[in-house]
Amino acid sequence: MLFLVGVLVVVVGVALSIALHEIGHLVPAKKFGVKVTQYMVGFGPTVWSRRRGETEYGIKAVPLGGYVRMIGMLPPRPGDKPGELRTLSTGRFSQMVDQARADSMEEVRPGDEHRVFYRLHPAKKIVIMLGGPVMNLLIAAVLLTAVITLYGLPQVAPKVGLLSQCVPTAAPTLQVPQPKCRPGDPVAPAKAAGLQAGDRIVSVDGRPVTTWDAVSAAIRDSKGRTMTWAVQRGNQKVDVSITPAVLERATYDDQGNAIAKDGKPVLASMGFAGITPGQELVKTPLTQAPKFVWDRTVDTASIIVRIPEKMAGVVQAAFGSDERDPNGPISVVGVGRIGGEVAALDIPADEGGNWLKIAQLILLIASLNLALFVFNLIPLLPLDGGHVAGALWEAIKKGWARVRNRPDPGFVDVAKGLPVAYAMSLVLITMSVLLIYADIVKPIKLFG
Protein backbone atom coordinates (compact mmCIF):
# COMPACT_ATOMS: atom_id res chain seq x y z
CA MET A 1 0.00 0.00 0.00
CA LEU A 2 2.77 2.47 0.92
CA PHE A 3 4.50 1.65 -2.36
CA LEU A 4 1.37 2.63 -4.29
CA VAL A 5 1.06 5.82 -2.25
CA GLY A 6 4.62 6.76 -3.22
CA VAL A 7 3.91 6.08 -6.89
CA LEU A 8 0.72 8.17 -6.69
CA VAL A 9 2.61 11.07 -5.09
CA VAL A 10 5.14 11.02 -7.94
CA VAL A 11 2.40 10.82 -10.60
CA VAL A 12 0.57 13.79 -9.07
CA GLY A 13 3.86 15.67 -8.74
CA VAL A 14 4.70 15.02 -12.40
CA ALA A 15 1.21 16.12 -13.52
CA LEU A 16 1.37 19.32 -11.46
CA SER A 17 4.87 20.07 -12.75
CA ILE A 18 3.68 19.68 -16.33
CA ALA A 19 0.58 21.79 -15.65
CA LEU A 20 2.71 24.60 -14.20
CA HIS A 21 5.19 24.28 -17.08
CA GLU A 22 2.38 24.92 -19.55
CA ILE A 23 1.10 27.83 -17.44
CA GLY A 24 4.59 29.28 -17.86
CA HIS A 25 3.87 29.38 -21.61
CA LEU A 26 0.18 30.30 -21.32
CA VAL A 27 0.42 33.43 -19.16
CA PRO A 28 2.97 35.40 -21.23
CA ALA A 29 1.33 34.26 -24.47
CA LYS A 30 -2.00 35.76 -23.39
CA LYS A 31 -0.19 38.81 -22.00
CA PHE A 32 1.38 39.47 -25.40
CA GLY A 33 -1.95 39.02 -27.23
CA VAL A 34 -1.36 35.63 -28.83
CA LYS A 35 -4.56 33.67 -29.33
CA VAL A 36 -4.38 30.46 -27.29
CA THR A 37 -7.00 27.91 -28.28
CA GLN A 38 -6.06 25.03 -25.97
CA TYR A 39 -4.34 24.40 -22.65
CA MET A 40 -4.06 20.66 -22.06
CA VAL A 41 -2.33 18.55 -19.44
CA GLY A 42 -1.57 15.06 -20.72
CA PHE A 43 -2.00 13.28 -24.04
CA GLY A 44 -4.52 10.90 -25.52
CA PRO A 45 -8.30 11.05 -25.08
CA THR A 46 -9.70 14.08 -23.26
CA VAL A 47 -10.98 13.19 -19.78
CA TRP A 48 -12.30 16.63 -18.89
CA SER A 49 -12.35 20.04 -20.53
CA ARG A 50 -14.04 23.39 -20.20
CA ARG A 51 -13.93 26.45 -22.43
CA ARG A 52 -13.25 29.81 -20.89
CA GLY A 53 -13.35 32.58 -23.43
CA GLU A 54 -11.35 31.56 -26.50
CA THR A 55 -9.33 28.87 -24.67
CA GLU A 56 -10.28 25.28 -23.92
CA TYR A 57 -8.75 24.01 -20.69
CA GLY A 58 -8.59 20.25 -20.19
CA ILE A 59 -7.01 17.09 -18.82
CA LYS A 60 -6.16 14.11 -20.99
CA ALA A 61 -5.89 10.44 -20.10
CA VAL A 62 -2.08 10.09 -20.02
CA PRO A 63 -0.57 12.71 -17.66
CA LEU A 64 2.95 12.46 -19.07
CA GLY A 65 3.06 15.68 -21.04
CA GLY A 66 1.01 18.66 -22.06
CA TYR A 67 0.76 21.50 -24.51
CA VAL A 68 -0.50 25.03 -25.11
CA ARG A 69 -1.87 25.53 -28.63
CA MET A 70 -1.05 29.00 -29.95
CA ILE A 71 -2.21 30.00 -33.41
CA GLY A 72 0.39 30.74 -36.06
CA MET A 73 3.38 29.04 -34.43
CA LEU A 74 4.87 28.57 -37.92
CA PRO A 75 5.01 31.40 -40.48
CA PRO A 76 3.62 30.96 -43.99
CA ARG A 77 6.19 30.18 -46.63
CA PRO A 78 7.86 33.29 -48.04
CA GLY A 79 5.62 34.60 -50.83
CA ASP A 80 2.44 33.04 -49.44
CA LYS A 81 -0.33 35.12 -47.94
CA PRO A 82 -1.13 34.44 -44.27
CA GLY A 83 -3.68 31.64 -44.07
CA GLU A 84 -2.95 30.37 -47.57
CA LEU A 85 -0.67 27.56 -48.68
CA ARG A 86 0.71 26.70 -52.09
CA THR A 87 0.64 23.04 -53.01
CA LEU A 88 3.73 22.89 -55.20
CA SER A 89 5.99 20.97 -52.82
CA THR A 90 7.42 17.62 -53.77
CA GLY A 91 9.18 15.15 -51.56
CA ARG A 92 8.06 13.65 -48.29
CA PHE A 93 9.71 16.20 -45.98
CA SER A 94 8.50 19.16 -48.03
CA GLN A 95 4.95 17.86 -47.90
CA MET A 96 5.21 17.31 -44.15
CA VAL A 97 6.47 20.87 -43.66
CA ASP A 98 3.66 22.26 -45.82
CA GLN A 99 1.11 20.27 -43.84
CA ALA A 100 2.58 21.61 -40.59
CA ARG A 101 2.26 25.16 -41.93
CA ALA A 102 -1.35 24.48 -42.88
CA ASP A 103 -2.12 23.08 -39.43
CA SER A 104 -0.48 26.09 -37.80
CA MET A 105 -2.63 28.52 -39.80
CA GLU A 106 -5.82 26.44 -39.60
CA GLU A 107 -7.18 28.25 -36.54
CA VAL A 108 -6.36 31.75 -37.78
CA ARG A 109 -9.71 33.48 -38.29
CA PRO A 110 -10.41 36.88 -39.84
CA GLY A 111 -9.20 39.46 -37.34
CA ASP A 112 -6.61 37.11 -35.83
CA GLU A 113 -3.82 37.99 -38.28
CA HIS A 114 -1.98 40.08 -35.72
CA ARG A 115 -2.49 37.59 -32.89
CA VAL A 116 -0.30 34.85 -34.36
CA PHE A 117 2.85 33.75 -32.59
CA TYR A 118 5.26 34.17 -35.49
CA ARG A 119 4.56 37.92 -35.75
CA LEU A 120 5.74 38.62 -32.19
CA HIS A 121 8.93 40.53 -31.46
CA PRO A 122 11.75 37.99 -30.93
CA ALA A 123 12.09 39.01 -27.26
CA LYS A 124 8.44 38.18 -26.65
CA LYS A 125 8.84 34.82 -28.37
CA ILE A 126 11.78 34.05 -26.10
CA VAL A 127 9.82 35.02 -22.98
CA ILE A 128 6.92 32.76 -23.96
CA MET A 129 9.07 29.76 -24.82
CA LEU A 130 11.32 30.14 -21.79
CA GLY A 131 8.27 30.50 -19.53
CA GLY A 132 7.78 26.73 -19.29
CA PRO A 133 11.36 25.73 -18.42
CA VAL A 134 11.75 28.67 -16.05
CA MET A 135 8.59 27.55 -14.24
CA ASN A 136 10.20 24.13 -13.72
CA LEU A 137 13.34 25.83 -12.38
CA LEU A 138 11.24 27.89 -9.95
CA ILE A 139 9.39 24.77 -8.76
CA ALA A 140 12.70 22.98 -8.17
CA ALA A 141 14.22 26.01 -6.42
CA VAL A 142 11.23 26.38 -4.07
CA LEU A 143 11.11 22.66 -3.22
CA LEU A 144 14.87 22.33 -2.73
CA THR A 145 15.06 25.47 -0.63
CA ALA A 146 12.16 24.36 1.54
CA VAL A 147 13.72 20.96 2.23
CA ILE A 148 17.29 22.07 2.93
CA THR A 149 16.37 25.08 5.09
CA LEU A 150 13.33 23.78 6.99
CA TYR A 151 14.13 20.07 7.28
CA GLY A 152 17.77 19.60 6.40
CA LEU A 153 19.82 17.12 4.43
CA PRO A 154 21.59 14.00 5.71
CA GLN A 155 25.30 14.69 6.05
CA VAL A 156 28.15 12.48 7.21
CA ALA A 157 28.70 12.98 10.95
CA PRO A 158 31.29 11.75 13.50
CA LYS A 159 29.04 8.90 14.58
CA VAL A 160 28.83 5.17 14.05
CA GLY A 161 26.60 4.05 11.21
CA LEU A 162 27.06 0.40 10.23
CA LEU A 163 29.58 -1.96 11.85
CA SER A 164 31.62 -4.46 9.85
CA GLN A 165 31.60 -7.98 11.20
CA CYS A 166 35.22 -8.81 10.38
CA VAL A 167 38.63 -7.69 9.17
CA PRO A 168 38.77 -8.83 5.50
CA THR A 169 42.02 -10.68 4.88
CA ALA A 170 41.63 -11.24 1.12
CA ALA A 171 44.03 -9.26 -1.10
CA PRO A 172 42.48 -6.32 -3.00
CA THR A 173 42.20 -6.57 -6.79
CA LEU A 174 41.05 -4.14 -9.47
CA GLN A 175 37.80 -6.06 -9.72
CA VAL A 176 37.34 -6.19 -5.92
CA PRO A 177 39.28 -3.26 -4.40
CA GLN A 178 37.46 -3.65 -1.08
CA PRO A 179 37.27 -7.40 -0.26
CA LYS A 180 34.38 -8.75 1.77
CA CYS A 181 34.39 -10.99 4.81
CA ARG A 182 35.18 -14.70 4.53
CA PRO A 183 34.70 -17.45 7.10
CA GLY A 184 37.53 -17.38 9.62
CA ASP A 185 38.34 -13.67 9.25
CA PRO A 186 39.00 -11.94 12.62
CA VAL A 187 36.34 -9.81 14.29
CA ALA A 188 36.38 -6.15 13.25
CA PRO A 189 38.05 -3.86 15.86
CA ALA A 190 35.01 -1.59 16.29
CA LYS A 191 32.71 -4.54 16.93
CA ALA A 192 35.24 -6.14 19.29
CA ALA A 193 35.53 -2.87 21.22
CA GLY A 194 31.78 -2.80 21.82
CA LEU A 195 30.89 0.22 19.70
CA GLN A 196 27.23 0.44 18.72
CA ALA A 197 25.39 1.95 15.79
CA GLY A 198 24.37 5.50 16.67
CA ASP A 199 27.32 6.17 19.00
CA ARG A 200 28.55 9.72 18.45
CA ILE A 201 32.33 10.04 18.65
CA VAL A 202 33.16 13.03 20.87
CA SER A 203 36.96 12.73 21.17
CA VAL A 204 39.90 10.57 20.12
CA ASP A 205 42.72 10.23 22.68
CA GLY A 206 41.39 13.33 24.44
CA ARG A 207 41.25 15.46 21.28
CA PRO A 208 37.72 16.67 20.43
CA VAL A 209 36.43 15.71 16.96
CA THR A 210 33.59 17.42 15.10
CA THR A 211 33.83 15.79 11.67
CA TRP A 212 34.04 12.27 10.33
CA ASP A 213 37.19 13.23 8.41
CA ALA A 214 38.98 13.73 11.74
CA VAL A 215 37.87 10.29 12.95
CA SER A 216 38.82 8.67 9.64
CA ALA A 217 42.28 10.29 9.69
CA ALA A 218 42.89 9.04 13.25
CA ILE A 219 41.95 5.48 12.24
CA ARG A 220 44.02 5.61 9.06
CA ASP A 221 47.14 6.88 10.84
CA SER A 222 46.84 4.69 13.95
CA LYS A 223 49.27 2.00 12.65
CA GLY A 224 47.82 -0.59 15.04
CA ARG A 225 48.08 1.63 18.13
CA THR A 226 45.32 1.33 20.74
CA MET A 227 43.20 4.50 20.96
CA THR A 228 40.70 5.72 23.54
CA TRP A 229 37.47 7.13 22.17
CA ALA A 230 34.85 9.04 24.12
CA VAL A 231 31.43 8.39 22.62
CA GLN A 232 27.99 9.74 23.41
CA ARG A 233 25.54 6.85 23.70
CA GLY A 234 22.08 8.21 24.42
CA ASN A 235 22.39 10.18 27.65
CA GLN A 236 25.67 8.53 28.63
CA LYS A 237 29.27 9.30 27.80
CA VAL A 238 31.26 6.08 27.37
CA ASP A 239 35.02 5.55 26.96
CA VAL A 240 35.97 2.83 24.47
CA SER A 241 39.40 1.37 23.76
CA ILE A 242 39.85 0.38 20.12
CA THR A 243 42.86 -1.06 18.29
CA PRO A 244 42.48 -0.65 14.51
CA ALA A 245 43.90 -3.40 12.33
CA VAL A 246 46.60 -2.55 9.79
CA LEU A 247 45.66 -3.50 6.23
CA GLU A 248 46.95 -2.99 2.72
CA ARG A 249 44.11 -1.20 1.00
CA ALA A 250 43.43 0.15 -2.50
CA THR A 251 43.94 3.88 -3.07
CA TYR A 252 41.55 6.12 -5.03
CA ASP A 253 41.76 9.25 -7.18
CA ASP A 254 39.60 12.37 -6.83
CA GLN A 255 36.86 10.78 -8.96
CA GLY A 256 36.62 7.77 -6.65
CA ASN A 257 38.30 5.34 -9.06
CA ALA A 258 40.84 2.80 -7.81
CA ILE A 259 44.39 3.80 -8.79
CA ALA A 260 46.14 1.05 -10.76
CA LYS A 261 49.64 0.31 -12.01
CA ASP A 262 50.59 -2.58 -14.30
CA GLY A 263 47.06 -3.95 -14.01
CA LYS A 264 47.12 -4.07 -10.22
CA PRO A 265 45.68 -1.69 -7.63
CA VAL A 266 48.10 0.66 -5.91
CA LEU A 267 47.99 -0.28 -2.23
CA ALA A 268 48.72 1.70 0.91
CA SER A 269 49.07 0.61 4.52
CA MET A 270 46.31 2.07 6.70
CA GLY A 271 44.31 1.45 9.83
CA PHE A 272 40.97 -0.35 9.67
CA ALA A 273 38.25 -0.19 12.35
CA GLY A 274 35.24 -1.55 10.48
CA ILE A 275 32.93 1.47 10.78
CA THR A 276 30.67 3.08 8.20
CA PRO A 277 30.01 6.70 9.23
CA GLY A 278 26.53 7.67 10.32
CA GLN A 279 24.54 10.63 9.10
CA GLU A 280 22.51 13.39 10.68
CA LEU A 281 20.22 16.11 9.37
CA VAL A 282 21.85 19.50 8.92
CA LYS A 283 19.83 22.56 7.92
CA THR A 284 21.28 24.86 5.28
CA PRO A 285 21.14 28.64 5.84
CA LEU A 286 18.77 30.40 3.45
CA THR A 287 21.65 32.47 2.07
CA GLN A 288 23.33 29.30 0.80
CA ALA A 289 20.21 27.97 -0.93
CA PRO A 290 20.90 29.66 -4.32
CA LYS A 291 24.33 28.01 -4.51
CA PHE A 292 22.80 24.64 -3.62
CA VAL A 293 20.16 25.00 -6.37
CA TRP A 294 22.84 26.10 -8.85
CA ASP A 295 25.06 23.12 -8.01
CA ARG A 296 22.16 20.71 -8.45
CA THR A 297 21.31 22.34 -11.78
CA VAL A 298 24.89 21.97 -13.01
CA ASP A 299 24.91 18.31 -11.89
CA THR A 300 21.68 17.70 -13.81
CA ALA A 301 23.06 19.40 -16.92
CA SER A 302 26.21 17.27 -16.78
CA ILE A 303 24.07 14.12 -16.75
CA ILE A 304 21.86 15.28 -19.64
CA VAL A 305 24.90 16.25 -21.73
CA ARG A 306 26.14 12.66 -21.33
CA ILE A 307 22.80 11.03 -22.17
CA PRO A 308 24.03 9.49 -25.47
CA GLU A 309 26.94 7.87 -23.63
CA LYS A 310 24.77 6.77 -20.72
CA MET A 311 22.07 5.35 -23.01
CA ALA A 312 24.64 2.83 -24.24
CA GLY A 313 24.98 1.66 -20.64
CA VAL A 314 21.20 1.46 -20.32
CA VAL A 315 20.99 -0.78 -23.39
CA GLN A 316 23.80 -3.02 -22.11
CA ALA A 317 22.06 -3.34 -18.74
CA ALA A 318 18.60 -3.94 -20.21
CA PHE A 319 19.71 -6.60 -22.69
CA GLY A 320 22.78 -7.93 -20.89
CA SER A 321 24.15 -8.66 -17.44
CA ASP A 322 25.47 -5.19 -16.56
CA GLU A 323 23.98 -3.28 -13.63
CA ARG A 324 22.21 0.05 -14.14
CA ASP A 325 24.15 3.22 -13.40
CA PRO A 326 22.41 4.85 -10.38
CA ASN A 327 23.36 8.25 -11.84
CA GLY A 328 22.07 7.42 -15.31
CA PRO A 329 18.81 8.48 -17.00
CA ILE A 330 15.49 6.92 -16.02
CA SER A 331 11.95 7.11 -17.35
CA VAL A 332 8.84 8.31 -15.58
CA VAL A 333 8.21 4.64 -14.76
CA GLY A 334 11.59 4.54 -12.99
CA VAL A 335 10.86 7.76 -11.11
CA GLY A 336 7.53 6.33 -9.97
CA ARG A 337 9.19 3.13 -8.87
CA ILE A 338 11.77 5.01 -6.81
CA GLY A 339 8.96 7.05 -5.25
CA GLY A 340 7.20 3.84 -4.29
CA GLU A 341 10.38 2.39 -2.78
CA VAL A 342 10.94 5.56 -0.76
CA ALA A 343 7.39 5.45 0.62
CA ALA A 344 7.75 1.75 1.49
CA LEU A 345 11.00 2.18 3.45
CA ASP A 346 10.87 1.29 7.13
CA ILE A 347 12.64 4.25 8.71
CA PRO A 348 12.70 4.45 12.53
CA ALA A 349 11.24 7.61 14.03
CA ASP A 350 14.59 8.59 15.56
CA GLU A 351 16.16 8.50 12.08
CA GLY A 352 13.52 10.68 10.44
CA GLY A 353 10.58 8.33 10.00
CA ASN A 354 7.80 9.56 7.73
CA TRP A 355 9.20 13.09 7.61
CA LEU A 356 12.37 11.79 5.98
CA LYS A 357 10.31 9.91 3.39
CA ILE A 358 8.29 13.03 2.62
CA ALA A 359 11.50 15.03 2.23
CA GLN A 360 12.93 12.42 -0.14
CA LEU A 361 9.78 12.44 -2.28
CA ILE A 362 9.90 16.23 -2.47
CA LEU A 363 13.57 16.08 -3.50
CA LEU A 364 12.68 13.51 -6.16
CA ILE A 365 10.04 15.80 -7.69
CA ALA A 366 12.46 18.74 -7.47
CA SER A 367 15.10 16.71 -9.35
CA LEU A 368 12.55 15.86 -12.04
CA ASN A 369 11.77 19.56 -12.49
CA LEU A 370 15.46 20.37 -12.83
CA ALA A 371 15.71 17.70 -15.52
CA LEU A 372 12.71 19.21 -17.35
CA PHE A 373 14.29 22.67 -17.12
CA VAL A 374 17.65 21.63 -18.53
CA PHE A 375 16.30 19.21 -21.14
CA ASN A 376 13.85 21.74 -22.58
CA LEU A 377 16.69 24.22 -23.11
CA ILE A 378 18.32 21.97 -25.73
CA PRO A 379 18.24 24.20 -28.85
CA LEU A 380 16.46 21.71 -31.10
CA LEU A 381 12.84 21.52 -32.18
CA PRO A 382 10.35 20.38 -30.93
CA LEU A 383 11.82 21.39 -27.55
CA ASP A 384 11.30 24.89 -26.17
CA GLY A 385 14.99 25.59 -26.72
CA GLY A 386 14.51 25.08 -30.46
CA HIS A 387 11.96 27.90 -30.62
CA VAL A 388 14.22 30.08 -28.45
CA ALA A 389 17.10 29.45 -30.85
CA GLY A 390 14.90 30.47 -33.78
CA ALA A 391 13.87 33.68 -32.03
CA LEU A 392 17.49 34.50 -31.16
CA TRP A 393 18.54 33.97 -34.77
CA GLU A 394 15.70 36.23 -35.90
CA ALA A 395 16.80 38.95 -33.45
CA ILE A 396 20.40 38.71 -34.71
CA LYS A 397 19.33 38.95 -38.37
CA LYS A 398 17.05 41.92 -37.72
CA GLY A 399 19.69 43.68 -35.62
CA TRP A 400 22.39 43.14 -38.24
CA ALA A 401 20.06 44.46 -40.96
CA ARG A 402 19.41 47.63 -38.92
CA VAL A 403 23.12 48.17 -38.36
CA ARG A 404 23.74 47.92 -42.11
CA ASN A 405 20.62 49.95 -43.01
CA ARG A 406 19.21 46.99 -44.91
CA PRO A 407 15.50 46.09 -45.23
CA ASP A 408 13.95 44.01 -42.47
CA PRO A 409 14.75 40.38 -43.33
CA GLY A 410 11.37 39.26 -41.95
CA PHE A 411 10.55 36.29 -39.75
CA VAL A 412 12.88 33.32 -39.36
CA ASP A 413 11.24 30.31 -41.00
CA VAL A 414 11.48 27.80 -38.17
CA ALA A 415 9.44 25.39 -40.28
CA LYS A 416 12.67 24.59 -42.11
CA GLY A 417 13.82 22.93 -38.91
CA LEU A 418 10.87 20.53 -38.83
CA PRO A 419 12.80 17.61 -40.38
CA VAL A 420 15.18 17.93 -37.42
CA ALA A 421 12.14 18.09 -35.12
CA TYR A 422 10.73 14.88 -36.59
CA ALA A 423 14.09 13.15 -36.20
CA MET A 424 14.40 14.47 -32.64
CA SER A 425 10.90 13.23 -31.83
CA LEU A 426 11.81 9.78 -33.12
CA VAL A 427 14.95 9.78 -30.97
CA LEU A 428 12.99 10.87 -27.89
CA ILE A 429 10.35 8.19 -28.44
CA THR A 430 13.02 5.51 -28.90
CA MET A 431 14.85 6.64 -25.77
CA SER A 432 11.61 6.68 -23.77
CA VAL A 433 10.71 3.14 -24.86
CA LEU A 434 14.19 1.86 -24.02
CA LEU A 435 14.22 3.56 -20.62
CA ILE A 436 10.76 2.26 -19.74
CA TYR A 437 11.80 -1.26 -20.73
CA ALA A 438 15.03 -0.98 -18.73
CA ASP A 439 13.17 0.40 -15.70
CA ILE A 440 10.91 -2.66 -15.81
CA VAL A 441 13.41 -5.46 -16.43
CA LYS A 442 16.53 -3.93 -14.79
CA PRO A 443 15.46 -1.07 -12.49
CA ILE A 444 17.92 1.18 -10.72
CA LYS A 445 18.24 0.03 -7.11
CA LEU A 446 18.94 2.84 -4.67
CA PHE A 447 17.90 1.02 -1.52
CA GLY A 448 19.50 -2.37 -1.81
Q: What is the pLDDT of residue 149?
A: 94
Q: What angle do CA 341, 347, 348 make, to 5 degrees?
A: 170
Q: What are 365-385's pLDDT values in tens digits?
A: 999 999 999 999 988 888 899
Which residues are marked as active site?
Answer: 22
Contact 173, 266 (CB under 8 A): no
Q: Is the peptide bond before 382 cis (omega within 30 degrees of 0)?
A: yes
Q: What is the pLDDT of residue 83?
A: 47
- Please report whether residue 320 resides in a domain: yes
**Residue 214 is part of which domain span?**
155-282
Angle, to 10 degrees, between the axis of helix 2-31 and the axis of helix 353-376?
40
Q: Residue range 56-70: average pLDDT? A: 87
pLDDT at 86 over 50: no
Same-domain status, 366 and 248: no
Contact 227, 243 (CB under 8 A): yes
Q: Residue range 322-346: average pLDDT? A: 81
* Confidence (pTM): 0.79
- Residue at a domain's end among 282, 298, 318: 282
Q: How many C-alpha atoms does 247 have within 13 Å on its Cβ side?
A: 26
pLDDT at 286 over 50: yes
What is the domain count for the chain? 2
Cα 291 from Cα 295, distance rounded (Å)? 6
In this structure, are strands 200-204 and 207-208 parallel, antiparallel, or unpaired? antiparallel
Q: How far is CA 131 from CA 128, 138, 245, 370, 436, in A?
A: 5, 10, 59, 14, 28
- Residue at a domain's end among 240, 258, 282: 282
Same-domain status, 389 and 265: no
- Please report whether residue 385 resides in a domain: yes
Q: pLDDT band for position 289 (50/70/90)?
A: very high
